[in-house]
Amino acid sequence: MSNFIDDAAVVPPKRTRTTRPKTHLYCVIDAGRSRIKFQARTSTRSTPVMTLDSLVCPVESLPYGERGAFSMARTVDDQHNEIVEHWVVGSSARFQGKDFVTMTERADHKVAYFPVLALGAIASLPYLEEFSTGTHKSKRTLHIHLSTLSLASPRTLHSAIEQCRWIVVDGVKYRLSFSRAGCVGFPEGYGAALFTQQRLREVDVATHTFYTFDIGFGTATLTEYDNLGSLPKRGMCNPHGGGGIVTLLRVFAEQLSTVDAARVMRPSQIKDILETSTLDDQGGIHAYTAEGHDIGDVLSVAIRQWMKDSPLTYALETLATSGRRHPVTLCGGGFAIAPVRMLVRDYLRQAGIPNEHILIPEDPGTIALAEMHHLFSSPPPKDSLHEARHTTDAA
């Protein structure tokens, strides 16, 4: 008699698969005309607010170990083979020996190049290995929840970036998976509104309305917010195209050429001089050329002229009346330039805006992004380099 148990077919032991929990990467990106500002976080780690110049350059092969360099594919040829593209995003795009593209060249460049700008930002993130999921060292997956701070529709941006299935950064291939639900579009400069709401609560000012005034590269955007619920809601938004730093640069260059017609300065040199200009204790403006000459007086004239005779003038006039009734936060990279900050603030004070209505964050250039962490449910991870402390500059 055969033993039933012995005759039974031997069942091979079931192979157990170890499943790793997905790492979800939350990215917030503000792809501006002059700089891409971005911050990324997982449940355990967060980067500080990082910036890249808004320049892109298509290259023949992928440079290794370069910030913002990556390969990707988003289209196929007639034989259905992927067409691989190599890109360098950021200041190093200038040094590839090829023509690079700036986002100021055309009005729609910011949207058309959005996938390249966003992938450049993702490629330049530190700890990409930690931010991705996978058992293989050189084949990993990034599960990305991408929020944008931009006036373009998040759907349009999402469907453009969704075409990109993978990127290669420094020899590691990352499959890309963009969460459709996680793709949220916030009003441009929303972090500045969150900052204002927080600050008004701290000083116990009950106001239903406040403004943010963002001087960027191309625009000087005045936005009105409702402060009634738990989150500020955007109302009126006027971008005042042409009111940004690019117009100031032009006025400054014109002023310089009338003062010293023999000296020719490159636009990038003039931009550097402007960005590194300073104030002394008496409120005197200083701006130094490469040779060490102080041309602060020329800069002072240029800023005043820019405020009086450019699209910024209209923005300031509107602000001067609105600011009497409601508080306004000054933000955007323009306010990171000390003389601009001082002269605009003086103008607003002279226009009769009470001192306590003018809020200036410690780092106005990145506040629109830095304060977005209030929207994530958990507090920023402990090891985060970003310190969410901002004070009002009342000086």
Residues that bind ligand ATP (CB under 6 A): 32-35, 54, 216-219, 244-245, 271, 275, 332-334, 336-337, 365
Residue 107 or 228 having the CB closest to Mg ion: 107
Provide the minimum distance between the beta carbon of 56 and ligand ATP in the complex, in angstroms, as a whole number. Answer: 14
For helices 267-275 and 245-259, give the axis angle rounded to 10 degrees.
110
Name every residue whose Cβ is closer than 8 Å to that of residue 29 and which is 6 or more positions away in sequence. Answer: 36, 37, 38, 117, 118, 121, 146, 147, 148, 149
Residue 59 or 222 having the CB closest to ligand ATP: 222
CB closest to Mg ion, residue no: 216
Provide the minimum distance between the beta carbon of 239 and ligand ATP in the complex, in angstroms, as a whole number. Answer: 8
Total length of the chain = 395
Q: Which residues bind Mg ion (CB under 5 A)?
A: 32, 216
If we measure between CA atoms, which residue out of 194, 199, 227, 211 comes closest to residue 325? Answer: 211
243 binds, among ligand ATP, Mg ion, none (CB under 5 to 8 A by kind): none
Q: Which two tokens stand for residue 10?
A: 């031997």
Q: Which two tokens stand for residue 285?
A: 């403006």
Provide the minimum distance between the beta carbon of 92 and ligand ATP in the complex, in angstroms, as a whole number. Answer: 18
Residue 285 or 367 having the CB closest to Mg ion: 367
Rounded Cα distance between 316 and 238, Å, is: 12
Residue type, 21: P
Query: 310: how many CB neighbours lie within 10 A of its CB?
Result: 20
Provide the minimum distance between the beta carbon of 91 and Mg ion in the complex, in angstroms, as a whole number. Answer: 18
365 binds, among ligand ATP, Mg ion, none (CB under 5 to 8 A by kind): ligand ATP
34 binds, among ligand ATP, Mg ion, none (CB under 5 to 8 A by kind): ligand ATP
Contact 193, 295 (CB under 8 A): no
Q: Which two tokens stand for residue 282?
A: 């008496």
Say which residue the tokens 């780690």 belong to.
45
Q: What does the DSSP assignment read for 17-39?
A: -PPPPPPEEEEEEEE-SSEEEEE
Provide the minimum distance between the beta carbon of 325 and ligand ATP in the complex, in angstroms, as a whole number. Answer: 26
Residue 62 or 285 having the CB closest to ligand ATP: 285
89 binds, among Mg ion, ligand ATP, none (CB under 5 to 8 A by kind): none
120 binds, among Mg ion, ligand ATP, none (CB under 5 to 8 A by kind): none
Residue 42 or 102 having the CB closest to ligand ATP: 102
Rounded Cα distance between 215 and 316, Å, is: 11
Say which residue the tokens 């997905």 belong to.
22
247 binds, among ligand ATP, Mg ion, none (CB under 5 to 8 A by kind): none
Q: 13: left (phi > 0), else alpha (psi -120 to 50), else beta?
A: beta
Residue 128 or 220 having the CB closest to ligand ATP: 220
The Cα angle at residue 53 between residues 24 and 311, in degrees rounded to 5? 115
158 binds, among Mg ion, ligand ATP, none (CB under 5 to 8 A by kind): none
Residue 245 or 316 having the CB closest to Mg ion: 245
